[in-house]
Copies of this chain bind each other. A is one copy, B any other.
Amino acid sequence: MRPRVVIAGAGFGGLTCARALKHALVDVLLVDRNNYHLFTPLLYQVASALLDPGEIARPVRQLIRPLRNADFLQASITGVDLDGRRLLTDHGPIPYDYLVLATGAQSDYFGNPSLAAHTIGLKDLDEGLAVRNRILAQFEASRWTDDPGRRRMLLTFVIVGGGPTGVEMAGAVSELIRLVLRKDYKDLDTNEVRVVLIEAAPYVLGAFVPSLRAAALRSLEHKGIEVMLNAKVEAVTQSSVKLEGGEEFPAGMVIWTAGVKASAVGKATGAQLVRQDRIKVDPTLQVPGHPVVFVIGDLAGAENGHARLPMLIPVAMQAGRHVAESIKGLAGTGGASAFRYKDPGIMATIGRNSAVAQIRGLHFSGFIGWVIWLTVHLINVISFRSRLVVLINWAWEYLFYDRPVRIIVRARE
């Protein structure tokens, strides 16, 4: 019997780990609550009606077809029986010889129930579609009211959080409205439409150097986005946002990108947690006391030198490859070695012709930044077909200022 490696989560970390185990003398079982792997960097493009779900999601089973030693099961993970070496799921327990926990992160509302109830996150495909449906539905609803106050409320879109997700989403919503919906709604008064980006820090894109933060801020304001810095959201209702300090304004929709914490699987393991509910791990990414259990990606409370590892795709992918090597070692005659993150750089786009990128001391913004962003993302969209269809949609949008999939659709239960 070959040892069985169970990988919980088919995101970038889990999938990379499975692929890196392709030639190992182990059996790999991937488990995920969805049957697809999601290309999350483009989720905001589904949310802003540019891409269809199928263009950024690929069936896990298709992706692992080339891996002869890998299989997949769809299930929600409910916990881990660390001593009994079983992953617990809503379909029953799955025994493992080695376990890789890679279930990622979720929105964190910091215990504020009004945020949880009245905002939409942007962490999974369901949420991306919900955002798209909601934006379009509010434009339609705004055509039915003669009350300018209510119309302005329906047409105020608030994005909370000035990180890459918030900045990208704000830029995309602004362009959807200014470039596309304005043509759909001939009698729309664009002065009634607001796109507001709220950030608690005195700048957006805190992970970038000050010159790029400033470039991104200029670009956001140039695209008509009202950026509120040094502003914290205290409460959200169906129709308003209240800031700390008392200011309150009408808003029909609030997208929450300001808080993120590890997936609930972390807590459910019973292992020791660190900040953001991440599982505390050794430098080898093993759970202390459980050398056959590894944690990678956003769920891993790892430290790299003095800094904690950021919740970024390259971290998850590098960790996935690293842990695959460690498991090969443990299953053979070697052992686990310490993980060290090699930073390939960070980037964020604000929309057409505008992005910032920070790569090994080099800083890019504006059109050059955008070309870099485009190239990197095009290369990384995961399969040939997706790449082709995504490229067509992008080219179409760029040339014709169109958003092809602005349809409101829900699957019937």
A residues engaging B (CB < 8 A)? 34-36, 52-55, 57-59, 61-62, 65, 71, 73-75, 91-92, 120, 125-127, 129-130, 132-133, 136-137, 140, 143-144, 183-187, 385-386, 388-389, 392-393, 396, 402, 404-413
Given A35-B407, A140-B35, A407-B53: A59 in contact with B126 (beta carbons within 8 A): no
Query: Do A409 and B184 touch (CB < 8 A)?
Result: no
**Which residues on B sit within 8 Å (CB–CB) of A407?**
34-36, 53-54, 57-59, 125
Q: Taking CB as reference atom, which chain B residue is nearest A136?
A: B35
Q: Taking CB as reference atom, which chain B residue is nearest A140?
A: B74
**Which residues on B sit within 8 Å (CB–CB) of A408?**
34-36, 74
**Which residues on B sit within 8 Å (CB–CB) of A130?**
411-413
**Residue in B125, B388, B406, B412 whose CB lies within 8 Å of A59:** B406
In the docked arrangement, what's the CA distance between A65 and B406, Å?
14
Query: Do A184 and B61 touch (CB < 8 A)?
Result: yes
In the docked arrangement, what's the CA distance between A156 and B171, Å?
47
**Which residues on B sit within 8 Å (CB–CB) of A413?**
130, 410
Minimum distance in angstroms from A139 CB to a CB of chain B:
9
Query: Do A396 and B385 touch (CB < 8 A)?
Result: yes
Given A389-B389, A409-B129, A411-B410: A55 in contact with B57 (beta carbons within 8 A): no
In the docked arrangement, what's the CA distance between A53 and B311, Å?
32
Given A35-B140, A61-B185, A186-B71: A54 in contact with B404 (beta carbons within 8 A): yes
In the docked arrangement, what's the CA distance between A156 and B106, Å?
36
Query: Do A411 and B409 touch (CB < 8 A)?
Result: yes
In the docked arrangement, what's the CA distance between A55 and B392, Å?
13
